[in-house]
């Protein structure tokens, strides 16, 4: 039975793609593997069928400590997400390394008083089982995700700058569909490339590379790869500037690194080493922690606010006709569109009435805003004033379309009017709150200043900054300084 074919026919795989639920499931399975290993080890250690959570505070404290430690170690060695081109033996050694470090950490804990219930045999068995379960689950996940990518999901859109020497790498990228790379465009003057791939991929002469910046503005491009045998220094520098301005990842063959003087990180794709230039936050450990925080806090807040959601839904229904939730197409990471959820604060025909009041726009730039909008309902005014109308976006965060903190997601008509330097705000996930939203005078901030604040957030991002904005957002809600 073709289980994957069934998943596709039932539209389960497209659902996973749309909601970005796959990575949530992967993270949950990793966590379950460690917990299961802990429980099995406890069974053997105490020779009973009792759950470890009922055994005493020493075991519970050890468990609560070792789980985040193991997860953080996985984050540090960058194996929390399934790689696209890494070999199984490399994964095996990385997981083995994490197990060795976890074992050493637990041995140190044995010397701490009040952890006397733990034995070296328990620690050793838990480490071995944790390693076996984690690697087995990851092995299965790797195969599933490879199939998932081979069907056209979870792909990375590439623009290549290539020559004759690039053919072997291009062949690998195109033939190994499970890696999830989609070559959108090639800049090359190579006749061989044109003969091989001209019928299936758009190939432009290398002299038209000056148009790359415009192409990056219009099309949804994730990465640009410079894979020529000999690099043109001027060409490389111009390409890097274009990518950095728009927040697109740029990769240069590591053999050409001597030609470029700039910050970069070393990465490997298809056994080929690249210098990767990223003008967005790239602290992998901090970004993983940010993702974990997004998932956990949004899930907890949805549970806590469920009664409030129900109450607001009733008030909206009593105040005006129409749906409780308003869905609007917004632009997210690198131009990807998604439905943003909000509590409906306007009349049902608000979008149709917009044309009648566009001339009254009080905001500069492509954004529309007026102080006394007759389309806003009574309940809507309160929700906007407190910012509580944004709460349904917790579901956008849980789906992976947004983050708790980040530049607010614009509508498509706004992005079409952006200046080139403003497009870089689309290089990170949009957020529920950001710099300008926690400012007391945010309604008086000019559009360009708003864009500068968003870029300042991207350039200075840290977990500490996210935490500061998160708590200041609560102050903004209590002060009721919303629209």
Asked whether the beta carbons of 422 and 451 are under 8 A apart, the reply is yes
Mean pLDDT across 475-479: 68
pLDDT of residue 100 exceeding 80: yes
Measure the CA–CA gap between 13 and 402, rounded to whole angstroms.
Answer: 20
Highest average pLDDT, of 32-36, 75-79, 368-372, comes from 32-36
Higher pLDDT, 161 or 367: 161
Higher pLDDT, 276 or 114: 276
**pLDDT of res. 5:** 52
Domain boundaries, the chain: 3-150, 156-279, 285-479
Mean pLDDT across 286-315: 87
Mean pLDDT across 166-191: 88
Which tens digits make up the pLDDT trace of 376-392? Answer: 888 888 888 888 888 99
pLDDT of residue 413 exceeding 60: yes
Higher pLDDT, 12 or 187: 187
- Reported as a pLDDT band with limits 50, 70 and 90, residue 18 is very low
**pLDDT of res. 3:** 46
Asked whether the beta carbons of 422 and 416 are under 8 A apart, the reply is no
Mean pLDDT across 15-32: 63
Task: Find where tokens 């005006």 sit.
Answer: 320
Give the 3-state secondary structure of residue 316: helix
Which tens digits make up the pLDDT trace of 246-269? Answer: 778 898 887 654 444 445 677 777
**pLDDT of res. 20:** 53
Higher pLDDT, 21 or 226: 226
How many of the other CB atoms lie within 10 Å of CB of 279?
A: 20
Asked whether the beta carbons of 239 and 226 are under 8 A apart, the reply is yes
pLDDT of residue 353 exceeding 60: yes
Q: What percent of the chain has pLDDT over 90?
A: 15
Asked whether the beta carbons of 155 and 182 are under 8 A apart, the reply is yes
pLDDT of residue 286 exceeding 50: yes
As its CATH architecture, domain 156-279 has 3-Layer(aba) Sandwich (3.40)
Asked whether the beta carbons of 329 and 412 are under 8 A apart, the reply is yes
Measure the CA–CA gap between 336 and 287, rounded to whole angstroms.
Answer: 20
Mean pLDDT across 446-462: 84
Asked whether the beta carbons of 402 and 430 are under 8 A apart, the reply is yes
Bridge-partner residues for 135, per DSSP? none
Average pLDDT taken over every residue of the chain: 79
Mean pLDDT across 217-241: 85
**pLDDT of res. 260:** 46
pTM for the full predicted model: 0.58
- Reported as a pLDDT band with limits 50, 70 and 90, residue 344 is very high
Strands 249-253 and 272-277: antiparallel
Highest average pLDDT, of 7-11, 94-98, 328-332, comes from 328-332
Mean pLDDT across 12-29: 58
Higher pLDDT, 442 or 155: 155
Q: What percent of the chain has pLDDT over 70?
A: 79
**pLDDT of res. 129:** 93
pLDDT of residue 117 exceeding 90: no
Q: What is the DSSP string of 418-454?
A: --GGGGGGGGS--EEE-GGGGSTTGGG--HHHHHHHH
Q: How would you write 27-72 as a 3-class SS string?
A: HHHHHHHHHHHHHHHHHHHHCCCCCHHHCCHHHHHHHHHHHHHHHH
Higher pLDDT, 302 or 370: 302
Mean pLDDT across 153-166: 87
Measure the CA–CA gap between 142 and 77, rounded to whole angstroms.
Answer: 17
């Amino acid at each position: 039975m073709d289980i994957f074919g069934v998943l596709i026919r039932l539209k389960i795989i497209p659902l996973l793609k749309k909601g970005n639920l796959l990575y949530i499931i992967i993270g949950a399975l990793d966590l379950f593997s460690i917990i299961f290993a802990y429980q099995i080890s406890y069974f053997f250690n105490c020779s009973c069928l009792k759950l470890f959570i009922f055994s005493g505070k020493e075991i519970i404290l050890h468990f609560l400590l070792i789980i985040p430690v193991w997860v953080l170690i996985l984050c540090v060695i960058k194996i929390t997400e399934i790689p696209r081109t890494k070999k199984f033996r490399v994964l095996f050694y990385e997981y083995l390394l994490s197990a060795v470090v976890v074992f050493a950490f637990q041995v140190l804990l044995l010397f701490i008083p009040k952890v006397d219930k733990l034995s070296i045999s328990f620690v050793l068995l838990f480490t071995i089982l944790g390693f076996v379960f984690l690697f087995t689950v990851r092995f299965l996940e790797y195969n599933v995700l490879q199939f998932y990518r081979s069907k056209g999901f979870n792909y990375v859109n590439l623009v290549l700058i290539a020559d004759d020497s690039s053919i072997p790498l291009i062949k690998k990228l195109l033939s190994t569909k499970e890696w999830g790379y989609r070559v959108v465009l090639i800049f090359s003057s190579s006749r061989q490339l044109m003969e091989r791939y001209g019928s299936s991929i758009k190939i432009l002469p290398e002299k038209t590379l000056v148009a790359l910046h415009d192409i990056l503005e219009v099309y949804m491009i994730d990465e640009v790869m410079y894979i020529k045998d000999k690099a043109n220094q001027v060409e490389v520098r111009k390409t890097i500037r274009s990518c950095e301005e728009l927040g697109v990842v740029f990769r240069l063959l590591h053999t050409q690194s001597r030609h470029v003087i700039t910050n970069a990180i070393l990465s490997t794709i298809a056994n080929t080493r690249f210098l990767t230039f990223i003008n967005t936050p790239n602290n992998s450990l901090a970004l993983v922690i940010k993702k974990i925080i997004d998932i956990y806090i949004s899930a907890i807040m949805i549970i806590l606010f469920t009664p409030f959601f129900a109450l607001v839904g009733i008030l909206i229904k009593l105040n005006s006709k129409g749906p409780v939730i308003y869905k609007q197409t917004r632009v997210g990471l690198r131009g990807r569109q998604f439905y943003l959820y909000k509590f409906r604060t306007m009349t049902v025909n608000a979008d149709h009435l917009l044309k009648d009041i566009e001339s009254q726009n009080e905001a500069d730039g492509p954004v529309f805003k007026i102080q006394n909008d007759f389309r806003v309902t009574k309940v809507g005014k309160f929700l906007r004033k407190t910012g509580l109308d944004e709460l349904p976006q917790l579901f956008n965060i849980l789906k992976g379309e947004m983050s708790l903190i980040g530049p607010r997601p614009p509508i498509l008509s706004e992005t079409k009017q952006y200046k080139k330097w403003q497009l870089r705000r689309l290089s990170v996930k949009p957020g529920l709150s950001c710099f300008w939203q926690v400012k007391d005078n945010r309604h008086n901030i000019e559009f360009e200043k708003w864009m500068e604040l968003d870029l300042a957030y991207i350039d200075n991002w840290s977990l500490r900054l996210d935490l500061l904005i998160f708590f200041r957002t609560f102050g903004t809600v209590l002060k009721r300084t919303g629209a």
